[in-house]
Amino acid sequence: MTLPSIVPGHTKIGWIGTGVMGKSMCGHLMKAGFAMTIYNRSQSKTQELVGLGAKPAATPAEVAQQSDVVFVMVGFPHDVRQVIMGEDGILTTLRSQGIVVDMTTSSPQLAQEVYHAAKAKNCHSLDAPVSGGDIGAKEARLSIMVGGDRAPFEALQPCWDAMGKTIQYQGAAGSGQHTKMVNQILIANNMVGLCEAMLYAYRSGLDPVEVLKSVSSGAAGSWSLSNLAPRVLNNDFAPGFYVEHFVKDMGIALEEARRMNLALPGLALAHQLYVALCAQGMSRLGTQALIQALATLSGFDWRNRT
């Protein structure tokens, strides 16, 4: 299949999903000079981008009809399936040789299904989940991990450059999603350690702020420790990434692990702790809110500590 040239000011881009991260990522593409058509289930979340020149659409199909490339950044695998392959989905109207890029963290199996559905329509499909949270999205320094055919991956380099800092081709369809599962397994276990460490620092009478200064630059340092631990100490649980989405991601990773006959007890424990956080009504907080569930196990409310 012949790929379209990806040129700012010429290539028409579509974007579906203008939430916490999607809005910033879409905005960066607009700043790079791409004409943009957008769709979001909650129209109020598109107003800022429309004010900057994006054209609103009523359905994903309408977005695709006006686009050479359509990016998707939604919440759950069932959302991905609906906006790409549903009755008013992208593949109902995407032109021949068009490209659909799913940047949602979703199922590797679904990524392969989308890939074959796109091929049947003479189109291209890439799975390209990201890591870096709301900060990485705002500052255009996301890590983007991509699965699918190499040719469309290379053709989209101007788009990757507008949104991310680390762009890596991982292999065949589904490989991007598998790589994101590796990322989420690392983060899940790291977040348990981060929150347990902050609890220990507090209960032992140390000043957690001073402790953080010591450990962040040593062998224990990590992105989560540098970016999320300060939020924990400030009782800032605003979502850079929703707890409910993280639970979804860990569930996908555990399902894939079972399929591969892998035992991942650390991930299973982290998953259960985050499920408990959802049960406490905190599913729409950021992942750093795990400190709340662990503090509750120790008999106190982290937010009201003295």
* Integer Cα distance of 113 and 100 in angstroms: 13
How many separate helices (H) and strands (E) can be counted in the chain?
15, 9
Catalytic residue of the set 12, 23, 180, 248: 180
Neighbours of 272 (CB within 10 A): 13
Strand blocks (E) in 55-111 = 55-56, 69-72, 99-102
Residue 194 to residue 228: CA distance in whole angstroms: 9
Looking from the CA of 52 toward its CB, the CA atoms found within 13 Å total: 20
Q: Which residues contact 92 (CB under 8 A, 6 or more apart)?
A: 61, 64
- Does 45 qualify as catalytic in the annotation? no
DSSP codes joined into one string, 123-155: -EEEE--EESHHHHHHTT-EEEEEEE-HHHHHH
Q: What's the CA gap between 241 and 122, in Å, rounded? A: 34
Catalytic annotation, residues: 180
